[in-house]
Amino acid sequence: MRRMLVCFVIFLLMPEKIGVATDSCRTVPIEKMGIPGPLGTKYPGPAVIFGDPVTVPAFQLRFVDEKSAQSVAPSKIAINYSWRWLEYPYPEHSWGAWSDVSDLIECPEPGAETLVAEYEVRPRGWYNGKYAKFPFVGKRPYFTRVSISLAVNGCTEQTGASISAKEARKLKDKSVVFKVNCNGKSTIVIE
């Protein structure tokens, strides 16, 4: 029993998995960024309610210019593994409101192709009161999407696109092509 407890504690203290197979990438859980609350407050402490964990498989990520179809090497990538949680109290919503939060993986200097490692999304929330329990079923946190945004030299703004939760679960051994559009909406194609 003691050995099991020690193993569990070691598991909890292990550093977060790096989400992208590049030495310069770093994982930033939402707890380290500070969870924004209503009216500019911050939620203190650890999560108190959890949803079902979701494993997003490893996938190859390529960047191409939407118009010329040539490879593009971004100067920075940010990958957000997002979920929703019921936030209560919430101004103007007497029963609370769904809030989006995410764990962030940042890569300052990726190449035109990047291998994104498997990542386990652990949806969590900071409210476990009466509106998260029976008869208000279905109020646990849940995974929503993987958002990829990047900065590209020559573009005036960052550009981004998302992969839905349903598509993200099916990425094993797939290639994701991020079609960069500096003047409009970028798109993602899964091959």
Sign of torsion over alpha carbons 17, 27, 125, 51:
negative
- The confidence score (pLDDT) of residue 180 equals 93
User: Percentage helix, strand, coil, to 5, in the chain?
Assistant: 15, 40, 45
| Span 162-190, pLDDT tens digits | 999 999 999 998 999 999 998 888 999 99
pLDDT in tens, 107-163: 887 888 988 889 999 999 888 888 777 776 678 899 999 999 998 888 878 889 999
Average pLDDT value for the chain: 80
